[in-house]
A and B are shown apart, each in its own frame.
Chain A
Amino acid sequence: MAATAQKRSAWSVIWDYLTTVDHKKIAILYLMGGGFFFLLGGLEAMLIRIQLAVPNNDFLSAGMFNQVITMHGTTMIFLAAMPLLIAFMNAVVPLQIGARDVAFPFLNALGFWVFFFGGVFLNLSWFLGGAPDAGWTSYASLAIDSPGHGVDFYALGLQITGAGTLMTGINFVTTIITMRAPGMTFMRMPLMTWTTLVAAVLIVFAFPPLTIALFLLIFDRMFGSNFFIVEAGGNTIIWEHFFWIFGHPEVYILILPAFGIFSEIFSIFARKRLFGYSSMVFATVLIGFFGFMVWAHHMFTTGLGATANAIFGVATMAIAIPTGIKIFNWILTIWGGSIKFTTPMLYALAFIPSFTMGGVTGIMLATVPADYQFHDTYFVVAHFHYVIVGGTVFAILAGLHLYWPLMFNTMLNERLGKWTFWLFFTGFHLTFLIQHWLGLWGMPRRVFTYLDGQGYNLANMVSTIGAVLMAVATLILAYNIVMTIVRNERVGKDPWGDGRTLEWSLPLPVPYYNFAQIPLIRGLDAYQIEKEENNGEMIPSEPLDDFHMPNNSFIPFVMSFGLFVTGFGALYFASGKDWAINAVSNMPVHDWALYVLIAGLAITFISMGVRSWKDDLGYYVKKEELERDLAALEEERGAN
């Protein structure tokens, strides 16, 4: 342990993170990347709320407003919420199932770098002629006519990011199926692991339709095809179907890991076993399954016909059943528990009513005739912010406090954490509750301003004030994080004192190989069982011996960088070509673009070839090193 405490040069740390394949470090990378984009998306949200605070405002122009709302949605969904959840999956799941790493450590690193470069590519659009402005759903009828390269940045950027997410999905499905410790049967997996598994399956099956939809858009705008060009036989509804066949499972990809985090929190801080574990697992799988057959409820007003609308409306309402099962199980977990009101627990308690409100408006929206009224109003905006902020963002903030000690071996300040919570919670309801009424009063979404005297003034001002409170909460959180890092007060094993699952049984900082000996799992809440029966010591399932670990690699970074270069090549290659869509063919021609395109592809494919050609056999951690580490831990415990 002493060796890791030595001062290292900044460059060696950076190089370590650029080449790491360790899931714990990749979790930190995801946290930083996702956190950065979360701040960016939050900034965009503030711009929206400033613009809408008063009627007839000209803080943002109409065109700029469209860019800001598009990038707010896209950034928050693809570049903030999902990566932040993946950060916790990476940090927790391998530890929770008793694995030394994920199934494909190299792919894990590749997934991160591909996501990161895709996100950077998308956001560089701000500086390179304007961001996408066709909304985060980028409906083809709008996207085809959007001038400039904005929508091309959207399509190419999401294509790159999406590839990274797909890799992560494949990785976690495999990890959870093959890498569980002896005794960790499927029905002994903690809920966080279960929800990660189902979310990862959803990623694998939901992202390919988005890939195809984005390709259709890229080809139409940049390479002269006719998928959405009605005059040539095309059909723009194809985009809507594909986008929502992806988009609806996507919201479950966002909410299921959030359910997982909250399930852990309820059981830890109510100090009880999770109520109705098997029904929770059943509900998780069922939600994942239903997630694929409700996409057309986003398209009730498209004109699919009464029968299709009725089927999708009923299927949507059916999802309330497994979700209701979960809500009641959480309530019954708290019931009779000995509750500790920590910051994560506050978020979890606030989540139940907030998320349920979002769920209830979801049922209202699934009622087809009523949806014709709600469609494209602020009611919809209020609904999805209640589920995504009240569910996913609360879970991310709760998870940040809960898992911070596991990731960084320090504790976030509880006092500041509670300040953040109360400000964020108040600000959230202040911002979005009133938007239900705004919608019912008839204010359409995605308008850049509204006239005075329509009765929208007060409600919009209230909404903006709420957004300011959330911004203040975020600043306090940032201060909390900085101060925690500066103070650097180390904590030991099981810092919350009530950890029940395997990850809390590990010494902090967690050794790079996680487990010197893979433990034997004797039931649900594996660590809690050993606390009750074996003095908190996990029983090893194997003798102390050498084991295999993967090598670090710089190739993931290079491969992803190649895709980033390819993106620019493809984008500027289309500029000014007569076959491209009018919006793109009017732009200046760039002769160098073809070479950039080829260079980018060459970088990616050659690094793939190198990866395939070279043997990457990994290395063995020696028994002697493990014995040294265990002895050091023993000594430390003696000293305390």
Chain B
Amino acid sequence: MAEMRYNVPDNQWPDHPERATLEGKNKQLGFWVFLGGETVLFASLFATYLALENSVPSDDHLLTYDLFQLELAFVMTMFLLTSSLTSVYAVYHMRNNNFAKMQIWLIVTVLLGAGFLALEIYEFSHFVELGHTFRSSAFASAFYFLLGTHGFHVAVGLVWITLLILRNARRGLSVYTAAKVNTAALYWHFIDVVWVFIFSIVYLLGVI
């Protein structure tokens, strides 16, 4: 009985399947509220970073302009921004009730996100080799905490979207699964926006 009410016939597929049920509506609004809280969370992290930027115990520690390479940061930015675009394609096909294309774009999103994460891990290991570690200075602690929290969010998003791709593989699209995909896409956009601020405030301001 319950199952039936979530499965809408193809010719009655709503324009906004993610908001077609009360649960879906709640989920969307509740997630926006959650992202409001996340915004404050990252604002606090940025404040900590700005308070401790280049604050090191002695002169021989690496500072922002010794560390950051805009080329790598640019490539990482491209990976993440593109993955945000591909998640928009996925949601577009979800609204058009095209399950196969939605899954493909979600997979592309995950791959691009994984590319970003791999580059970030490479960058961190490079910094650690240079002696810029979580424990080396207050600046380094704040740097890794801000970027690490963002990177953790990316990792969570990757696991989340991957789980959605797998769990929905046999279920297909319904107004129940559409709400889940929509929420994950919102989350993915959010961590993309946070990265835009990291790129501007940490990398760009750091080397100017």
Contact = CB atoms under 8 A, between A and B. Distances in A.
- Do A and B come together as binding partners? yes
A233 B138 contact: yes
B208 interface: no
Given A233-B138, A618-B2, A171 B55 contact: no
A634 interface: no
Interface in A91-149: 103-104, 107
Contacts of B51: 235, 238
B92 interface: no
A78 B166 CA distance: 40
A619 B6 CA distance: 12
Interface string B101-145: 000000000000000000000000000000000111111111001
Contact of A166 (B6, B37, B45, B140): B37
A233 B6 contact: no
Interface string B26-48: 10011001101110110011011
A174 B38 contact: no
B52 interface: yes
Contacts of B55: 233-235
A219 interface: yes
B163 interface: yes
Interface string B134-161: 1111111110010000000000000010
Interface stretch (A209-217, A332-340, A422-430, A495-503): A209-217
Contacts, number: 125
Interface residues of B, number: 43
B9 interface: no
Nearest to B54: A233
B134 A224 contact: yes
A609 B160 CA distance: 9
Contacts of A245: 44
B34 to A, nearest CB: 5
Contact of B163 (A171, A235, A612): A612
A231 B26 CA distance: 49
A189 B5 CA distance: 31
Given A171-B30, A225-B134, 10 more contacts: A174-B26, A204-B34, A205-B40, A208-B38, A211-B44, A232-B137, A238-B48, A548-B5, A548-B22, A617-B176
Interface of B: 1-3, 5-6, 22, 25-26, 29-30, 33-34, 36-38, 40-41, 44-45, 47-48, 51-52, 55-57, 134-142, 145, 160, 163-164, 167, 171, 176, 180
Interface of A: 103-104, 107, 166, 169-171, 173-174, 177-179, 204-205, 207-209, 211-213, 215-216, 219, 223-227, 229, 231-235, 238, 241-242, 245, 548, 579, 609, 612-613, 615, 617-620
